[in-house]
Amino acid sequence: MFKFLLPILFPSWRFFSSIGPSPRFDFGFIKYTDEQPEVWQEFSVLPDKIELTKGIVRLLHNPEWNERLYINTCAENLFDQYSEFREQEIARRILWILNRHNQLPEDYPYFCYRIRVITNEDNLVKDEVIFSAKPFLVKRGVQ
Amino acid sequence: MTLELAVRIAEGILAFAIMQQSVEFIRGQHPEKYLAWLRLMLASFLLVGFMPVWMETGLLLIALILIKRFQGPYNGGSDTMTLLVLLCLWLSHIASMLFTHTKLWQEIALGYLAIQLILSYFQAGWVKVINPEWRSGKALENVFAFTAYPVSQSVRQWATNPALMFYMSWAVILFELIFPLTIFSTVALYIALFIAAVFHLANACLFGLNRFFWIWPAAYPILIWFQSRVF
């Protein structure tokens, strides 16, 4: 607990000090735990633009976006050090958002995801899969 | 601005920011969903000034539970600032209860918050200005082009304008570095705080960082008091 509290009591305000690898999430559904998804879908595809009224509403209330930022933070922590908690958090959060958008297929009991990172070094853009999560049983309606 | 007035205004803004965060959690998952209802109730009482020290005690306890739950802050810097404002305001009340003959400890608690607010801008500017990629505009270009922050494809397209990225980078760097100097003048400080609020508004619109927009101003009244107290 103390290790979580110290950086809050004595914060370091190094916002965007360097631009590290940027995570992207792909997800898929499978019938058996030893399978790979037939199709990987990208999670969190950006809209083309945000209307002014929607932007004003999001200023006051934007739970889904903040969930996405939290998922991102979990992934960045995973890059530093593997943690089962973070791996599960990402799965739970993505499933919750997919469930809210009715995007959970009925006939596939397992969900899995992978994390790609995009890096830009000397204008050479790389897009690599660096983490594949274990399959998670989908519990519909309780995410 | 008197210390008491600064604390009351800061508590009002803090309470609103916590209510905003709580309503977002209420639409989320358990257990934070249930804690959010409790947080919303305590923040509502804090907003109207009802037993602030007890409301803040409750809010601090919930904050600790959430930190343990998420193994750190949920929303990075905005949660850090929320807890810092909450803790310093709570400490100022505790100090006024324990040391009735002096305001010194109250002032130390609030002074710490004022200094952290100044640092939140200055340190962010410093780490940018010492980075060649920030000075060239390349870092901001990468933020727009590759990170998860831009809220739409049209915002992501801003990365294709290097001149815009360069000028935006320098505007942010200069503002953040100059910010501490503004405490030498009341007028300059008010102008700086207005620009800072606009900066957080821009971050909310471009990068979806809406929680920062509400919580940072909670510390502004304390900095205004600090400026009048020290200079």
Give the pLDDT score at A19.
Answer: 84
CB contact under 8 A, B75 and A70: yes
Which tokens is A86 given?
């973070």
Give the pLDDT score at A93.
Answer: 92
Q: What is the mean pLDDT of residues A56-69?
A: 93
CB contact under 8 A, A70 and B74: yes
Q: Locate the chain B residue with the closest alpha carbon to A48.
A: B153
Give the pLDDT score at A121.
Answer: 81
> What angle is formed at CA B32 by the lines to CA B64 and CA B11, rounded to 5 degrees?
55
Say how many CB pairs under 8 Å bridge A and B.
Answer: 137
Contact at 8 Å (CB) between B176 and B199? no
Q: Locate the chain A residue with the closest alpha carbon to B123.
A: A13
Question: Is pLDDT at B198 greater than 90 in this prediction?
Answer: yes
Answer yes or no: is A3 within a domain. Answer: no
Give the pLDDT score at A120.
Answer: 85
Integer CA distances (angstroms), B134 to A18, A98, A126, B143, B155, in order? 8, 36, 21, 10, 19
Q: What is the mean pLDDT of residues B195-217?
A: 97
Q: Locate the chain A residue with the closest alpha carbon to B29.
A: A143
Contact at 8 Å (CB) between B182 and B134? no
Answer yes or no: is A62 within a domain. Answer: yes
Q: Locate the chain A residue with the closest alpha carbon to B129.
A: A17
In tens, the pLDDT along A125-140 reads 999 999 999 999 987 6
Question: Is pLDDT at B215 greater than 90 in this prediction?
Answer: yes
Q: What is the mean pLDDT of residues B2-10?
A: 97
Looking at the 3D structure of chain A, how many domains does it have? 1
CB contact under 8 A, B29 and A96: yes
CB contact under 8 A, B84 and A60: no
Interface subset of A 47-86, CB within 8 angstroms of B: 47-50, 55, 58-63, 65-70, 72-73, 77, 83, 85-86
The answer to which of A12-21, A27-36, A61-70, B191-200 has the lowest mean pLDDT is A12-21
Question: Is pLDDT at B156 greater than 60 in this prediction?
Answer: yes
- Among A15, A19, A62, the residue with its CB nearest the CB of B208 is A62
Give the pLDDT score at A143.
Answer: 45
Answer yes or no: is A6 within a domain. Answer: no
Q: Which residue bears the tokens 């803040």?
A: B56
Q: Locate the chain A residue with the closest alpha carbon to B88.
A: A9
Give Cα A69 distance to the centre of its chain: 8
Question: What percentage of chain A has pLDDT greater than the value 70?
Answer: 97
Q: Which of A113-122, B21-30, B159-168 has the highest mean pLDDT?
A: B159-168
Contacts of B31 in chain A (CB under 8 A): none
Question: Is pLDDT at B30 greater than 80 in this prediction?
Answer: no
Answer yes or no: is A7 within a domain. Answer: no
Range of the domain at A75: 20-137
Answer yes or no: is A12 within a domain. Answer: no
* pLDDT range class, residue A141, cuts 50, 70, 90: low
Look up residue A55 and give its amino acid. G
Domain residue spans in chain B?
3-230
Answer yes or no: is A61 within a domain. Answer: yes
Question: What percentage of chain B has pLDDT greater than the value 90?
Answer: 94
State whether residue A39 is helix, strand or coil.
coil
Contacts of A1 in chain B (CB under 8 A): 64, 67-68
CB contact under 8 A, A16 and B139: yes
Give the pLDDT score at A129.
Answer: 95
Q: What is the mean pLDDT of residues B65-82?
A: 93
- A11 to chain B, any CB pair closer than 8 A? The answer is yes
What is the residue-averaged pLDDT of chain A? 90
Q: What is the mean pLDDT of residues B24-35?
A: 84
What is the residue-averaged pLDDT of chain B? 96
Q: What is the mean pLDDT of residues B60-78?
A: 93
Which tokens is B140 given?
């901001």
Dihedral angle over CA of A90, A76, B39, A57, nearest 10: -80
Question: Is pLDDT at A142 greater than 80 in this prediction?
Answer: no
